[in-house]
């Protein structure tokens, strides 16, 4: 028994907003969990401090499964991004504590390393194909084995995935949402030439990925997947929204380009049909939005039965705490595919000192007990929360569309 005596929520904005839960036990051991839900951060902060913290005080920090079930079943209102992100933060912090008490890195508690490191993919982007290829060559030289290519679309003033800065991409950048323009026709014409140029410049030994960001209908996605087959993509991501899991059957009937989806999923029930019907190849659910290590392991175990591998979301809205948890998870499961990795700014890295590292395109969580990451509260207190929304998207005739 190791009683929880304190739990509190820390909101900070070292370059972007992060919500962190810090749990402490009677033995003075503390653990941290990420609770960041991009653009809706304070909803989770309130859910935790108003509704979850009172339930944690006095509970045994070592009973991770029991506490997870208590929060899931006990809330009555199951699933959903706010609830599952809050549960994820508790779960991560408890695994962190257990590791520290055991004197072992969390991946050792999850069964030990199943590989040398977690392959990550970098984000090459530019307003033109030439700029994108130049950025991709830079990633290749740095040793990345997998690179996502996103390029501006001729005729559209801005596009998802194309940043103003070479190395940092932060779409949640405005006090009120910016409005972008979208044209499916222009986009569909622009992608095959990008990958033709990509293969020509980068060769065939590097994995290439692309994110559609939920912007096509299933039949349009089928056509894009077919058009991209000659370039052998590692995956085509979020080809169509997945509220209707059945939609992926139509895409699957038309293309052998591997499909990835799931960064907005919060539960195994959001992807159960996709996995069991083998409609996808990679599941992108993340440790922070899908209930923590405890629940993500369940998703991965189901996926493994159907040869579906993981490819967890890992944009900058995941704090270094989530990044660390994702690496312990990815290192230990049999069906790891790839981990998304986007650099955090120097300010973020300073607020969250961590032990994970990147060598030759592979990331490792390090050997420190627990998650190997912490929050510098003094430094964090210097960065006040600053409201920041993701953009919205409209078609050229003004219709609100998927961002």
State in angstroms the smallest separation of the CB of 238 from Mg ion: 5
State in angstroms the smallest separation of the CB of 118 from Mg ion: 18
**Between 211 and 374, whose beta carbon lies closer to Mg ion?**
211
- C-beta separation of 84 from 29 below 8 A: no
State in angstroms the smallest separation of the CB of 142 from Mg ion: 21
- C-beta separation of 122 from 341 below 8 A: yes
Sign of dihedral through CA atoms 302, 229, 115, 353?
Answer: negative
**Between 47 and 403, whose beta carbon lies closer to Mg ion?**
403
**Between 152 and 161, whose beta carbon lies closer to Mg ion?**
161
Chain mean position to CA 202: 26
Distance between CA atoms of residues 159 and 127, nearest Å? 8
Residue nearest to Mg ion (CB): 211
State in angstroms the smallest separation of the CB of 338 from Mg ion: 13
Q: 3-class DSSP state for residue 182?
A: strand
**Between 94 and 318, whose beta carbon lies closer to Mg ion?**
318
Binding site for Mg ion (CB under 5 A): 211
3-class SS string, 86-117:
HHHHHHHHHHHHHHHHHCCEHHHHCCCCCCCC
Strand order from edge to edge, sheet including 4-12: 4-12, 18-25, 30-34
Q: Is 160 a catalytic residue?
A: yes
State in angstroms the smallest separation of the CB of 402 from Mg ion: 12
Q: 3-class DSSP state for residue 83?
A: helix
Distance between CA atoms of residues 268 and 84, nearest Å? 11
Q: 3-class DSSP state for residue 135?
A: helix
State in angstroms the smallest separation of the CB of 393 from Mg ion: 14
State in angstroms the smallest separation of the CB of 234 from Mg ion: 14
Count helices and strands in the chain by DSSP H and E runs: 14, 16
Distance between CA atoms of residues 60 and 381, nearest Å? 29
**Between 24 and 211, whose beta carbon lies closer to Mg ion?**
211
Chain mean position to CA 384: 24
Which entry of 107, 121, 139, 160 is annotated as an active-site residue? 160
CA nearest to 210, candidates 149, 146, 122: 149
**Between 20 and 286, whose beta carbon lies closer to Mg ion?**
286
Q: Is 282 a catalytic residue?
A: no
**Between 41 and 211, whose beta carbon lies closer to Mg ion?**
211
Task: Say how many Å lie between the first and final Cα of the chain, rounded.
Answer: 47
Which entry of 207, 213, 289, 344 is annotated as an active-site residue? 213
Virtual torsion, Cα 368, 369, 371, 375, nearest 10 deg: -80
Q: Which residues pair with 182 in a beta bridge?
A: 395
Q: 3-class DSSP state for residue 156?
A: coil
Catalytic residues, by residue number, are 160, 213
């Amino acid at each position: 028994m190791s009683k929880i005596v304190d739990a509190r929520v820390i909101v900070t904005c070292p370059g972007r907003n992060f919500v962190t839960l810090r749990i402490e036990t009677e033995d003075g051991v503390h653990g941290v969990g990420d609770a960041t839900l991009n653009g809706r951060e304070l909803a989770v902060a309130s859910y935790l401090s108003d509704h979850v913290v009172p339930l944690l005080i006095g509970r045994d920090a070592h009973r991770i499964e029991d506490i997870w079930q208590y929060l899931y079943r006990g809330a009555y209102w199951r699933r959903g991004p706010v609830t599952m992100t809050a549960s994820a933060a508790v779960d991560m912090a408890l695994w962190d504590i257990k590791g520290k008490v055991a004197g072992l890195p969390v991946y050792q508690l999850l069964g030990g390393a199943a590989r040398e490191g977690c392959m990550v993919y970098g984000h090459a982007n530019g307003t033109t194909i030439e700029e994108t290829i130049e950025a991709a060559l830079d990633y290749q030289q740095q040793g990345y084995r997998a690179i996502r290519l996103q390029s501006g679309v001729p005729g559209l003033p801005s596009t998802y995935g194309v940043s103003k800065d070479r190395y940092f991409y932060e779409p949640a950048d405005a006090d009120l949402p910016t409005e972008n323009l979208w044209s499916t026709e222009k986009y569909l014409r622009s992608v095959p030439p990008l990958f033709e140029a990509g293969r020509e410049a980068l060769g065939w030994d590097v994995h290439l990925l692309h994110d559609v960001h939920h912007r096509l209908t299933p039949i349009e996605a089928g056509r894009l997947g077919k058009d991209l087959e000659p370039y052998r993509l590692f995956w085509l991501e979020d080809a169509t929204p997945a509220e209707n899991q059945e939609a992926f059957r139509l895409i699957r009937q038309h293309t052998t380009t591997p499909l990835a989806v799931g960064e907005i999923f919060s539960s195994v029930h959001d992807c159960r049909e996709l996995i069991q019907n083998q409609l996808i190849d990679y599941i992108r659910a993340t440790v922070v939005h899908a209930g923590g290590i405890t629940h993500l392991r369940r998703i991965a175990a189901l996926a493994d039965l159907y040869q579906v591998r993981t490819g967890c979301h890992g944009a900058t809205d995941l704090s270094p705490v989530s990044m660390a948890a994702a690496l312990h998870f990815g290192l230990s499961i049999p069906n790891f595919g790839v981990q998304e990795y986007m650099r955090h700014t120097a300010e973020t890295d300073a607020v969250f000192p961590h032990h994970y590292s990147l060598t030759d395109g592979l990331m490792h969580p390090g050997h420190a007990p627990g998650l190997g990451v912490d929050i510098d509260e003094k430094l964090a207190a210097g960065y006040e929360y600053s409201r920041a929304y993701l953009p919205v998207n409209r078609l050229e005739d003004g219709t609100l569309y998927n961002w």
